[in-house]
Amino acid sequence: MSNNKQSLIKALNKTLGTSRVLSTVEECYAYSQDASNTREITQIPDAVVFVATANEVLEVVKFARKYKTPIICRGAGTNTVGACRVEHGGIILNFSRMNKILEINKENMTAKVQPGVILGDLQSKVEQLGLFYPPDPSNLKVSTVGGSIAQASGGAKTFKYGSTKNYVIDLEIVTADGRIMRTGSDTVKNATGYDLTSLFVGSEGTLGIITQATLKLIPKPESRKVLMAYFDTVEGAVEAVNLIVSQRIFPATIDFMDANAIQTVEKFYPAGLLTDKAATLLVEIDGFEVSMNYQQAIVEEIFKRCNAANIRVSHNEEEYERIWSARRASMGACALLKPNVTTDDVIVPRENLPALVKGIRQICEKHGLTACLVGHVGDGSVHPQIPIDYNDEDEYRRYKLAKSEIYELTATLNGLLSGEHGIGAEKRPFISKVIGGTALDFMRKIKKSLDPDNILNPYKIF
Protein backbone atom coordinates (compact mmCIF):
# COMPACT_ATOMS: atom_id res chain seq x y z
CA MET A 1 0.00 0.00 0.00
CA SER A 2 1.40 3.41 -0.97
CA ASN A 3 2.03 6.06 1.64
CA ASN A 4 -0.59 8.28 -0.01
CA LYS A 5 -3.24 5.57 0.27
CA GLN A 6 -2.25 4.78 3.85
CA SER A 7 -2.60 8.43 4.82
CA LEU A 8 -5.98 8.66 3.08
CA ILE A 9 -7.40 5.60 4.85
CA LYS A 10 -6.03 6.79 8.19
CA ALA A 11 -7.78 10.15 7.72
CA LEU A 12 -11.04 8.48 6.73
CA ASN A 13 -10.92 6.12 9.71
CA LYS A 14 -10.28 9.01 12.08
CA THR A 15 -13.21 11.02 10.71
CA LEU A 16 -15.84 8.32 10.13
CA GLY A 17 -14.69 5.46 12.36
CA THR A 18 -13.27 2.14 11.21
CA SER A 19 -16.72 0.51 11.12
CA ARG A 20 -17.71 2.77 8.22
CA VAL A 21 -14.57 2.48 6.12
CA LEU A 22 -13.68 -0.59 4.04
CA SER A 23 -10.11 -0.76 2.79
CA THR A 24 -8.98 -4.36 2.31
CA VAL A 25 -8.87 -5.85 -1.18
CA GLU A 26 -11.49 -8.42 -0.23
CA GLU A 27 -13.86 -5.78 1.15
CA CYS A 28 -13.49 -3.37 -1.76
CA TYR A 29 -13.56 -5.86 -4.62
CA ALA A 30 -17.37 -6.07 -4.76
CA TYR A 31 -17.55 -2.31 -5.33
CA SER A 32 -15.27 -2.23 -8.37
CA GLN A 33 -18.14 -3.11 -10.74
CA ASP A 34 -21.77 -2.19 -11.25
CA ALA A 35 -24.59 -3.81 -13.25
CA SER A 36 -23.09 -2.85 -16.62
CA ASN A 37 -22.09 -6.51 -16.88
CA THR A 38 -18.83 -5.90 -18.69
CA ARG A 39 -15.67 -7.89 -19.15
CA GLU A 40 -13.54 -4.74 -19.29
CA ILE A 41 -10.72 -4.58 -16.75
CA THR A 42 -11.51 -2.43 -13.71
CA GLN A 43 -9.59 -1.38 -10.64
CA ILE A 44 -10.39 -1.99 -7.00
CA PRO A 45 -11.28 1.17 -5.05
CA ASP A 46 -8.85 2.39 -2.42
CA ALA A 47 -11.68 2.62 0.10
CA VAL A 48 -15.44 2.35 0.46
CA VAL A 49 -16.99 4.78 2.92
CA PHE A 50 -20.52 4.75 4.33
CA VAL A 51 -21.47 8.39 4.81
CA ALA A 52 -24.41 9.48 6.96
CA THR A 53 -24.56 13.28 6.58
CA ALA A 54 -23.76 16.01 4.07
CA ASN A 55 -21.00 17.25 6.38
CA GLU A 56 -19.37 13.82 6.27
CA VAL A 57 -19.51 13.92 2.48
CA LEU A 58 -17.89 17.34 2.68
CA GLU A 59 -15.02 15.94 4.77
CA VAL A 60 -14.47 13.09 2.31
CA VAL A 61 -14.32 15.57 -0.57
CA LYS A 62 -11.66 17.54 1.27
CA PHE A 63 -9.58 14.38 1.73
CA ALA A 64 -10.03 13.49 -1.94
CA ARG A 65 -8.73 16.91 -2.99
CA LYS A 66 -5.81 16.71 -0.60
CA TYR A 67 -4.74 13.24 -1.74
CA LYS A 68 -5.79 13.75 -5.39
CA THR A 69 -8.10 10.73 -5.22
CA PRO A 70 -11.24 10.17 -7.34
CA ILE A 71 -14.69 9.96 -5.73
CA ILE A 72 -17.30 7.63 -7.24
CA CYS A 73 -20.83 7.94 -5.85
CA ARG A 74 -22.77 4.69 -5.57
CA GLY A 75 -26.39 3.96 -4.81
CA ALA A 76 -27.51 0.39 -5.45
CA GLY A 77 -25.02 -0.10 -8.30
CA THR A 78 -27.82 -1.13 -10.68
CA ASN A 79 -26.92 1.18 -13.56
CA THR A 80 -26.08 -0.62 -16.81
CA VAL A 81 -23.58 1.80 -18.39
CA GLY A 82 -20.61 1.61 -16.02
CA ALA A 83 -21.42 4.96 -14.41
CA CYS A 84 -20.04 3.87 -11.02
CA ARG A 85 -17.41 1.49 -12.37
CA VAL A 86 -13.98 2.02 -10.78
CA GLU A 87 -11.40 2.80 -13.45
CA HIS A 88 -8.76 4.77 -11.58
CA GLY A 89 -9.01 3.64 -7.96
CA GLY A 90 -10.37 6.16 -5.50
CA ILE A 91 -13.11 6.37 -2.89
CA ILE A 92 -16.54 4.81 -3.30
CA LEU A 93 -19.18 6.91 -1.53
CA ASN A 94 -21.87 4.52 -0.37
CA PHE A 95 -25.18 6.21 0.53
CA SER A 96 -27.00 3.27 2.09
CA ARG A 97 -26.98 5.04 5.49
CA MET A 98 -28.50 8.21 4.01
CA ASN A 99 -31.84 6.52 3.36
CA LYS A 100 -34.43 8.68 5.11
CA ILE A 101 -37.59 10.22 3.71
CA LEU A 102 -37.24 13.52 5.54
CA GLU A 103 -40.64 15.01 4.72
CA ILE A 104 -43.74 14.46 2.62
CA ASN A 105 -45.66 17.73 2.35
CA LYS A 106 -49.24 17.13 1.19
CA GLU A 107 -50.04 20.83 0.86
CA ASN A 108 -46.98 21.63 -1.28
CA MET A 109 -47.09 18.16 -2.89
CA THR A 110 -43.36 17.67 -2.40
CA ALA A 111 -41.06 15.13 -0.79
CA LYS A 112 -37.62 15.76 0.71
CA VAL A 113 -35.43 12.67 0.64
CA GLN A 114 -31.87 11.56 1.15
CA PRO A 115 -30.09 9.96 -1.83
CA GLY A 116 -30.14 6.41 -0.44
CA VAL A 117 -33.95 6.16 -0.31
CA ILE A 118 -35.24 3.22 -2.36
CA LEU A 119 -37.41 4.52 -5.18
CA GLY A 120 -40.12 1.88 -4.73
CA ASP A 121 -40.35 2.66 -1.01
CA LEU A 122 -40.85 6.35 -1.76
CA GLN A 123 -43.61 5.57 -4.24
CA SER A 124 -45.40 3.37 -1.70
CA LYS A 125 -45.19 6.01 1.02
CA VAL A 126 -46.57 8.86 -1.07
CA GLU A 127 -49.33 6.72 -2.58
CA GLN A 128 -50.58 5.94 0.93
CA LEU A 129 -51.26 9.69 1.18
CA GLY A 130 -53.05 9.87 -2.17
CA LEU A 131 -50.01 11.30 -3.97
CA PHE A 132 -47.94 9.97 -6.85
CA TYR A 133 -44.27 9.97 -7.90
CA PRO A 134 -44.43 8.66 -11.49
CA PRO A 135 -40.80 7.83 -12.50
CA ASP A 136 -40.65 4.03 -12.52
CA PRO A 137 -37.42 2.45 -13.82
CA SER A 138 -37.75 -1.33 -13.98
CA ASN A 139 -35.38 -1.76 -11.02
CA LEU A 140 -37.35 0.58 -8.74
CA LYS A 141 -37.51 -2.01 -5.95
CA VAL A 142 -33.76 -1.59 -5.40
CA SER A 143 -32.85 1.59 -7.29
CA THR A 144 -32.08 4.62 -5.12
CA VAL A 145 -33.39 8.13 -5.59
CA GLY A 146 -29.86 9.53 -5.80
CA GLY A 147 -28.89 7.04 -8.48
CA SER A 148 -32.06 7.67 -10.49
CA ILE A 149 -31.39 11.42 -10.39
CA ALA A 150 -27.73 11.00 -11.34
CA GLN A 151 -28.71 8.85 -14.35
CA ALA A 152 -31.88 10.83 -15.25
CA SER A 153 -33.89 7.60 -15.09
CA GLY A 154 -37.13 7.27 -16.97
CA GLY A 155 -39.29 4.17 -17.08
CA ALA A 156 -42.50 3.02 -18.69
CA LYS A 157 -44.61 5.98 -17.56
CA THR A 158 -42.39 8.62 -19.20
CA PHE A 159 -44.75 8.98 -22.18
CA LYS A 160 -47.51 10.55 -20.09
CA TYR A 161 -45.79 11.77 -16.96
CA GLY A 162 -42.21 12.56 -17.96
CA SER A 163 -38.96 11.26 -16.47
CA THR A 164 -37.03 11.97 -13.29
CA LYS A 165 -35.78 15.35 -14.53
CA ASN A 166 -39.39 16.61 -14.58
CA TYR A 167 -39.84 16.00 -10.84
CA VAL A 168 -36.62 17.28 -9.25
CA ILE A 169 -37.11 20.87 -8.07
CA ASP A 170 -34.22 21.28 -5.63
CA LEU A 171 -30.97 19.52 -4.79
CA GLU A 172 -28.49 19.85 -1.98
CA ILE A 173 -25.09 19.42 -3.59
CA VAL A 174 -21.59 19.02 -2.17
CA THR A 175 -19.31 20.65 -4.72
CA ALA A 176 -15.89 19.45 -5.81
CA ASP A 177 -14.21 22.41 -4.10
CA GLY A 178 -15.75 21.52 -0.73
CA ARG A 179 -18.90 23.62 -0.38
CA ILE A 180 -22.60 22.85 0.10
CA MET A 181 -25.21 24.54 -2.07
CA ARG A 182 -28.88 24.34 -2.98
CA THR A 183 -29.76 24.45 -6.64
CA GLY A 184 -33.47 25.33 -6.47
CA SER A 185 -36.29 25.79 -3.96
CA ASP A 186 -39.48 24.21 -2.63
CA THR A 187 -41.52 25.93 -5.33
CA VAL A 188 -42.61 24.00 -8.42
CA LYS A 189 -41.71 26.95 -10.67
CA ASN A 190 -38.36 28.67 -10.78
CA ALA A 191 -37.26 31.31 -13.28
CA THR A 192 -34.69 32.85 -10.97
CA GLY A 193 -31.28 32.59 -12.59
CA TYR A 194 -29.81 29.58 -14.36
CA ASP A 195 -31.49 26.20 -13.93
CA LEU A 196 -28.74 24.56 -11.89
CA THR A 197 -30.99 21.71 -10.79
CA SER A 198 -31.36 20.41 -14.34
CA LEU A 199 -27.59 20.66 -14.81
CA PHE A 200 -26.98 18.11 -12.07
CA VAL A 201 -29.82 15.75 -13.05
CA GLY A 202 -28.25 13.18 -15.37
CA SER A 203 -24.68 14.35 -14.69
CA GLU A 204 -23.74 10.87 -13.37
CA GLY A 205 -21.88 12.19 -10.34
CA THR A 206 -19.34 14.09 -12.46
CA LEU A 207 -20.29 17.64 -11.43
CA GLY A 208 -21.35 17.41 -7.79
CA ILE A 209 -22.54 15.02 -5.08
CA ILE A 210 -26.27 14.84 -4.30
CA THR A 211 -26.95 14.72 -0.55
CA GLN A 212 -30.65 15.67 -0.55
CA ALA A 213 -33.42 16.09 -3.12
CA THR A 214 -36.78 17.84 -3.12
CA LEU A 215 -39.18 16.11 -5.50
CA LYS A 216 -42.45 17.27 -6.99
CA LEU A 217 -45.46 14.97 -6.43
CA ILE A 218 -48.81 14.87 -8.21
CA PRO A 219 -52.24 13.47 -7.24
CA LYS A 220 -52.46 9.69 -7.49
CA PRO A 221 -54.74 8.54 -10.34
CA GLU A 222 -57.97 7.05 -9.01
CA SER A 223 -57.92 3.97 -11.24
CA ARG A 224 -55.76 2.11 -13.76
CA LYS A 225 -56.01 -0.75 -16.25
CA VAL A 226 -53.65 -2.39 -18.69
CA LEU A 227 -54.61 -3.74 -22.11
CA MET A 228 -52.45 -6.22 -24.04
CA ALA A 229 -52.73 -7.14 -27.74
CA TYR A 230 -50.65 -8.78 -30.48
CA PHE A 231 -49.73 -7.50 -33.93
CA ASP A 232 -48.36 -9.07 -37.11
CA THR A 233 -45.88 -6.21 -37.59
CA VAL A 234 -44.12 -3.60 -35.46
CA GLU A 235 -45.48 -0.99 -37.88
CA GLY A 236 -49.01 -2.14 -37.00
CA ALA A 237 -48.31 -1.66 -33.31
CA VAL A 238 -46.93 1.86 -33.87
CA GLU A 239 -49.93 2.73 -36.05
CA ALA A 240 -52.24 1.68 -33.22
CA VAL A 241 -50.35 3.96 -30.82
CA ASN A 242 -50.67 6.93 -33.18
CA LEU A 243 -54.41 6.32 -33.57
CA ILE A 244 -54.89 6.07 -29.79
CA VAL A 245 -53.15 9.41 -29.26
CA SER A 246 -55.12 11.00 -32.12
CA GLN A 247 -58.31 10.15 -30.21
CA ARG A 248 -57.04 12.24 -27.27
CA ILE A 249 -56.37 9.19 -25.13
CA PHE A 250 -53.12 9.72 -23.25
CA PRO A 251 -51.96 6.32 -21.89
CA ALA A 252 -49.71 6.23 -18.85
CA THR A 253 -47.61 3.52 -20.52
CA ILE A 254 -47.19 2.15 -24.04
CA ASP A 255 -44.72 -0.76 -24.02
CA PHE A 256 -43.88 -3.43 -26.55
CA MET A 257 -42.07 -6.76 -26.92
CA ASP A 258 -40.86 -8.16 -30.23
CA ALA A 259 -41.16 -11.76 -31.40
CA ASN A 260 -37.84 -12.88 -29.90
CA ALA A 261 -38.72 -11.38 -26.53
CA ILE A 262 -42.18 -12.95 -26.57
CA GLN A 263 -40.79 -16.38 -27.45
CA THR A 264 -37.99 -16.19 -24.87
CA VAL A 265 -40.34 -15.15 -22.07
CA GLU A 266 -42.83 -17.87 -22.97
CA LYS A 267 -40.06 -20.48 -23.03
CA PHE A 268 -38.79 -19.78 -19.53
CA TYR A 269 -41.74 -18.06 -17.79
CA PRO A 270 -44.88 -19.42 -19.51
CA ALA A 271 -47.62 -16.80 -19.46
CA GLY A 272 -49.81 -17.90 -22.37
CA LEU A 273 -48.22 -15.46 -24.83
CA LEU A 274 -48.84 -15.79 -28.58
CA THR A 275 -45.43 -16.76 -29.94
CA ASP A 276 -46.33 -16.48 -33.65
CA LYS A 277 -46.79 -12.68 -33.57
CA ALA A 278 -44.26 -9.97 -34.45
CA ALA A 279 -45.03 -7.76 -31.47
CA THR A 280 -47.19 -7.36 -28.42
CA LEU A 281 -48.35 -3.99 -27.12
CA LEU A 282 -49.15 -3.14 -23.51
CA VAL A 283 -51.19 0.02 -23.02
CA GLU A 284 -51.88 1.25 -19.50
CA ILE A 285 -54.69 3.74 -19.03
CA ASP A 286 -55.39 5.62 -15.81
CA GLY A 287 -57.44 8.48 -14.42
CA PHE A 288 -60.83 8.91 -12.78
CA GLU A 289 -62.87 5.71 -12.46
CA VAL A 290 -65.71 7.22 -14.52
CA SER A 291 -63.36 7.63 -17.49
CA MET A 292 -61.94 4.11 -17.56
CA ASN A 293 -64.64 2.37 -19.60
CA TYR A 294 -64.57 5.21 -22.13
CA GLN A 295 -60.79 4.99 -22.54
CA GLN A 296 -60.87 1.19 -22.67
CA ALA A 297 -63.53 1.15 -25.38
CA ILE A 298 -61.54 3.48 -27.62
CA VAL A 299 -58.29 1.53 -27.18
CA GLU A 300 -60.03 -1.80 -27.86
CA GLU A 301 -61.75 -0.39 -30.95
CA ILE A 302 -58.42 0.85 -32.34
CA PHE A 303 -56.73 -2.48 -31.57
CA LYS A 304 -59.44 -4.26 -33.59
CA ARG A 305 -59.15 -1.74 -36.42
CA CYS A 306 -55.41 -2.51 -36.59
CA ASN A 307 -56.12 -6.27 -36.72
CA ALA A 308 -54.76 -6.94 -33.25
CA ALA A 309 -55.20 -10.44 -31.85
CA ASN A 310 -56.06 -11.80 -28.40
CA ILE A 311 -56.90 -8.53 -26.65
CA ARG A 312 -56.65 -8.85 -22.86
CA VAL A 313 -57.78 -6.34 -20.24
CA SER A 314 -57.02 -6.29 -16.51
CA HIS A 315 -60.12 -6.07 -14.31
CA ASN A 316 -58.38 -6.03 -10.93
CA GLU A 317 -54.93 -5.56 -9.42
CA GLU A 318 -54.07 -9.27 -9.66
CA GLU A 319 -54.79 -9.34 -13.41
CA TYR A 320 -52.91 -6.05 -13.82
CA GLU A 321 -49.78 -7.54 -12.23
CA ARG A 322 -50.15 -10.80 -14.18
CA ILE A 323 -50.15 -8.99 -17.52
CA TRP A 324 -47.20 -6.78 -16.60
CA SER A 325 -45.19 -9.73 -15.23
CA ALA A 326 -44.63 -11.02 -18.77
CA ARG A 327 -43.04 -7.72 -19.85
CA ARG A 328 -40.93 -7.52 -16.69
CA ALA A 329 -39.69 -11.08 -17.17
CA SER A 330 -37.91 -10.31 -20.45
CA MET A 331 -34.49 -9.53 -18.97
CA GLY A 332 -34.54 -12.54 -16.68
CA ALA A 333 -35.61 -14.80 -19.53
CA CYS A 334 -32.76 -13.54 -21.73
CA ALA A 335 -30.30 -14.26 -18.94
CA LEU A 336 -31.18 -17.96 -19.21
CA LEU A 337 -30.09 -18.12 -22.86
CA LYS A 338 -26.39 -17.34 -22.29
CA PRO A 339 -24.08 -16.76 -19.28
CA ASN A 340 -24.26 -12.98 -19.80
CA VAL A 341 -26.92 -10.58 -21.03
CA THR A 342 -26.47 -6.97 -22.07
CA THR A 343 -29.10 -4.26 -22.38
CA ASP A 344 -29.21 -0.84 -23.97
CA ASP A 345 -31.61 2.10 -24.34
CA VAL A 346 -31.30 3.81 -27.69
CA ILE A 347 -34.09 6.23 -28.50
CA VAL A 348 -35.46 7.80 -31.71
CA PRO A 349 -38.49 9.92 -32.65
CA ARG A 350 -41.52 7.61 -32.59
CA GLU A 351 -42.00 7.86 -36.35
CA ASN A 352 -38.60 6.17 -36.78
CA LEU A 353 -39.21 3.37 -34.27
CA PRO A 354 -40.12 0.64 -36.81
CA ALA A 355 -36.92 1.37 -38.76
CA LEU A 356 -34.87 1.18 -35.55
CA VAL A 357 -36.39 -2.15 -34.51
CA LYS A 358 -35.93 -3.62 -37.99
CA GLY A 359 -32.37 -2.30 -38.24
CA ILE A 360 -31.31 -3.69 -34.85
CA ARG A 361 -32.67 -7.09 -35.82
CA GLN A 362 -30.74 -7.05 -39.10
CA ILE A 363 -27.51 -5.96 -37.40
CA CYS A 364 -27.73 -8.70 -34.79
CA GLU A 365 -28.64 -11.34 -37.38
CA LYS A 366 -25.65 -10.28 -39.50
CA HIS A 367 -23.34 -10.82 -36.54
CA GLY A 368 -24.96 -14.08 -35.45
CA LEU A 369 -26.47 -12.64 -32.25
CA THR A 370 -29.89 -13.03 -30.68
CA ALA A 371 -31.65 -9.78 -29.80
CA CYS A 372 -34.80 -9.63 -27.69
CA LEU A 373 -36.29 -6.18 -28.16
CA VAL A 374 -38.52 -4.49 -25.61
CA GLY A 375 -39.18 -0.84 -25.07
CA HIS A 376 -41.47 2.11 -24.69
CA VAL A 377 -43.29 2.79 -27.96
CA GLY A 378 -44.74 6.05 -26.68
CA ASP A 379 -41.37 7.78 -26.45
CA GLY A 380 -39.46 5.80 -29.11
CA SER A 381 -37.17 4.03 -26.64
CA VAL A 382 -35.85 0.53 -27.42
CA HIS A 383 -34.00 -1.82 -25.07
CA PRO A 384 -32.10 -4.43 -27.11
CA GLN A 385 -31.37 -7.32 -24.73
CA ILE A 386 -28.53 -9.37 -26.21
CA PRO A 387 -27.52 -12.63 -24.47
CA ILE A 388 -23.86 -13.55 -25.06
CA ASP A 389 -21.00 -15.53 -23.54
CA TYR A 390 -18.15 -13.25 -22.51
CA ASN A 391 -15.78 -16.22 -22.50
CA ASP A 392 -16.38 -16.68 -26.22
CA GLU A 393 -13.85 -14.25 -27.71
CA ASP A 394 -15.36 -14.34 -31.20
CA GLU A 395 -18.90 -13.79 -29.96
CA TYR A 396 -17.77 -10.89 -27.79
CA ARG A 397 -15.98 -9.33 -30.80
CA ARG A 398 -19.16 -9.67 -32.89
CA TYR A 399 -21.19 -8.11 -30.08
CA LYS A 400 -18.90 -5.07 -29.92
CA LEU A 401 -19.22 -4.59 -33.69
CA ALA A 402 -23.00 -4.90 -33.49
CA LYS A 403 -23.18 -2.39 -30.66
CA SER A 404 -21.24 0.20 -32.66
CA GLU A 405 -23.48 -0.35 -35.70
CA ILE A 406 -26.63 0.00 -33.56
CA TYR A 407 -25.37 3.41 -32.41
CA GLU A 408 -24.60 4.39 -36.00
CA LEU A 409 -28.13 3.39 -37.01
CA THR A 410 -29.62 5.36 -34.13
CA ALA A 411 -27.71 8.46 -35.21
CA THR A 412 -28.97 8.17 -38.80
CA LEU A 413 -32.53 7.98 -37.45
CA ASN A 414 -32.12 11.28 -35.58
CA GLY A 415 -31.88 9.47 -32.26
CA LEU A 416 -29.72 9.46 -29.14
CA LEU A 417 -27.58 6.85 -27.42
CA SER A 418 -29.56 6.98 -24.20
CA GLY A 419 -33.04 7.99 -23.16
CA GLU A 420 -32.89 6.89 -19.53
CA HIS A 421 -29.74 4.88 -18.67
CA GLY A 422 -26.99 7.45 -19.17
CA ILE A 423 -23.58 7.23 -20.87
CA GLY A 424 -21.09 6.19 -18.17
CA ALA A 425 -18.05 4.31 -19.42
CA GLU A 426 -19.87 1.92 -21.76
CA LYS A 427 -21.12 4.52 -24.27
CA ARG A 428 -18.33 7.05 -23.76
CA PRO A 429 -16.52 6.16 -27.03
CA PHE A 430 -19.71 6.68 -29.05
CA ILE A 431 -21.16 9.95 -27.70
CA SER A 432 -19.67 11.99 -30.56
CA LYS A 433 -21.91 10.07 -32.98
CA VAL A 434 -24.94 11.99 -31.72
CA ILE A 435 -23.55 15.07 -29.94
CA GLY A 436 -21.71 17.70 -31.99
CA GLY A 437 -18.19 18.85 -31.27
CA THR A 438 -19.23 22.33 -30.11
CA ALA A 439 -21.75 20.91 -27.62
CA LEU A 440 -19.20 18.40 -26.31
CA ASP A 441 -16.67 21.22 -25.92
CA PHE A 442 -19.10 23.19 -23.75
CA MET A 443 -19.86 20.06 -21.70
CA ARG A 444 -16.14 19.64 -21.02
CA LYS A 445 -15.90 23.31 -20.03
CA ILE A 446 -18.76 22.87 -17.56
CA LYS A 447 -16.99 19.84 -16.07
CA LYS A 448 -13.70 21.75 -15.84
CA SER A 449 -15.41 24.73 -14.20
CA LEU A 450 -17.20 22.71 -11.53
CA ASP A 451 -14.52 20.06 -10.99
CA PRO A 452 -11.13 21.56 -11.96
CA ASP A 453 -9.16 18.76 -10.29
CA ASN A 454 -11.24 16.05 -12.03
CA ILE A 455 -11.93 14.09 -8.85
CA LEU A 456 -15.67 13.48 -9.30
CA ASN A 457 -16.23 10.24 -11.25
CA PRO A 458 -13.43 11.13 -13.68
CA TYR A 459 -13.55 10.32 -17.40
CA LYS A 460 -17.17 9.20 -17.38
CA ILE A 461 -19.52 10.39 -20.18
CA PHE A 462 -16.65 11.73 -22.33
In this prediction, residues 423-437 reach a mean pLDDT of 96
- Cα 432 to Cα 407, 436, 443, 461, distances in angstroms: 10, 6, 12, 11
For residues 228 and 308, membership in a common domain is answered with yes
- How far apart, in whole angstroms, are the C-alpha atoms of residue 183 and residue 146? 15
The 3-state DSSP class for residue 449 equals helix
Say whether both 213 and 265 belong to one domain. Answer: no
165 in a structural domain: yes
* DSSP structure class, residue 221: P
Residues 179 and 244 placed together within one structural domain of the fold: no
Across the strands, what pairs with 170? 214
State which residues form the domain around 53.
3-94
Of the pLDDT bands very low, low, confident and very high (cuts 50, 70, 90), residue 1 is low
Region 258-275 average pLDDT: 93
d(CA 262, CA 55): 49
Q: What is the CATH number of the domain that holds 248?
A: 3.30.70.3450
- Count CB atoms within 10 A of the CB of residue 351: 12
**pLDDT tens, residue by residue, 377-394:** 888 999 999 999 999 999
- pLDDT reported for residue 259: 95
Residue 217 has pLDDT above 70, yes or no: yes
Edge-first strand order for the sheet with 71-74 is 21-22, 47-50, 91-94, 71-74
Is residue 289 located within the same domain as residue 315? yes
Domains of the chain: total: 4
Section 300-306 average pLDDT: 96
Q: Does some domain include residue 20?
A: yes
Q: Is the confidence at residue 72, as pLDDT, over 80?
A: yes
pLDDT bin (cut points 50, 70, 90) of residue 39 is confident
pLDDT digits (tens, 9 = 90+) for 332-387: 899 999 999 999 999 999 999 999 999 999 999 999 999 999 999 888 999 999 99
CATH number of the domain enclosing 181: 3.30.465.10
Tens-place pLDDT, residues 151-193 = 999 988 999 999 999 999 999 999 999 999 999 999 999 999 9
